[in-house]
Amino acid sequence: MKVSRRTLLKLTGFGFAATIMLPRMAFAARNSLKSLRTGVQPGNKTRLVVEMAARPSYTLSYPNNQLVINIANTAANKSLTPKLAAGTLVKSISQTQVGDRLQITANLNKPISQIPKSQIMMLEPNGDNDYRLVLDFSAGASVAAGAGAATTAKNTVPAKTTTTPAKKYVVVIDAGHGGKDPGCIGKGGTREKDIVLSVAKKLRVKLDANGFKTYLTRGDDTYLKLSERAAIAERRKADLFLSLHANANPSRAMKGFSIYTLSEKASDEEARKLAESENASDKIGLDDWTGFEKDIRFALSSLQQHAVAEMSEEYANSCARTFRGAKIEQQPGPGVRHAPFAVLRSTVPGALLELGHLSNGAEEKLLRTGAHQDKLVNAIVRSVKNYNFEV
């Protein structure tokens, strides 16, 4: 059975337990293995996570039906049991000490191709987890393709195929504002509610094509209370919630994107003001937010609240990185900020994405173009695919 982190969170109120067991070392190992785990990602990809105490220096190789990871200056941790999820390509994982290197060998059901760079991630520690080397891969042509591979195939007993459909992760896309609430308006008359709805619809099509189950909080020009948006994420049992916005700044020179997560205390004055203006959306509809918020709060233990915050933070950081990688201009200052956004008050991990500034003439024009909207959509899709749904 595949369990997403969010389901796990709901079921158990867990923390991500990491076992710290240091082996006796014959050399001065500078790094240690904390955990090994696998999971299934959208598109039926296998995810292998190698958690380490320090940032690992590693190499990958792909001998017959194996994925071999060599990690420098690391001792084997024989007392560690890998957590293997059902339905992945990984049959078993073993550790071998080769001098001062730790060699981790994943025995696979099927050969795989060299894992492309885009499918390899190095995640920073985030409170509950240490450094994680994350490898995503699917069955494909063997790296040693050709006659040799054909011979190997002959001797291979075909693996029993089980038809477990891959779990579809649920993403709720929230186009900010709508109806009587236009959001911010550019000098050229561009309304935030129209831009974000257009991006939300495109995003939905692309995420669906990538194997996600998506819902829009609004699919047309309708006014929705902030609590209703959060409630849709709850009702749909979303794994991730993305609220799309465009920004305005008193300075017409200000431009660029920024990503926000929920925090009771704003990270800076600008973030505080932004949350105030986004939250003001409810003043238009005289929202009865307080009752709803209470229910949601009681539904989560402090440990669970912490876990939701950590997951949101992880997503937001990776989203900001992806945007920068796609050469989308970032607002000066930190890429990820925090503020008490009402729409993010739920049990669903998520972030509020300010896609750019409508108050800046050049960016207003850019945000109107299909090409730039596609660029934003592609970056968001990548950030969702990179998000660690399962492990």
Binding site for Zn ion (CB under 5 A): 176, 183, 245, 278
The SS3 assignment for 157 reads: coil
Q: Closest distance between Zn ion and the C-beta of residue 56, in Å?
A: 40
Q: Closest distance between Zn ion and the C-beta of residue 357, in Å?
A: 11
How far from the centroid of its chain's Cα atoms is residue 115's Cα? 19
In sign, the C-alpha dihedral spanning 362, 365, 367, 372 is negative
* Residue number, nearest CB to Zn ion: 245
- Structure tokens that stand for 336 in this block: 């990820």
C-beta of 113 vs 222, nearer to Zn ion: 222
What is the Cα–Cα distance from 183 to 164, expressed in whole angstroms? 44
Q: Closest distance between Zn ion and the C-beta of residue 181, in Å?
A: 9
What is the Cα–Cα distance from 153 to 331, expressed in whole angstroms? 53
C-beta of 183 vs 350, nearer to Zn ion: 183
Q: Are 171 and 240 in contact (CB under 8 A)?
A: yes
- Structure tokens that stand for 21 in this block: 């067991």
C-beta of 52 vs 230, nearer to Zn ion: 230
C-beta of 341 vs 389, nearer to Zn ion: 341
- Structure tokens that stand for 2 in this block: 């595949």
Q: Closest distance between Zn ion and the C-beta of residue 11, in Å?
A: 34
Q: Which amino acid belongs to residue 65?
A: N
C-beta of 39 vs 183, nearer to Zn ion: 183
As to burial, measured by CB atoms within 10 angstroms (0-12 exposed, 13-18 middle, 19+ buried), residue 93 is: buried
Q: Closest distance between Zn ion and the C-beta of residue 176, in Å?
A: 4
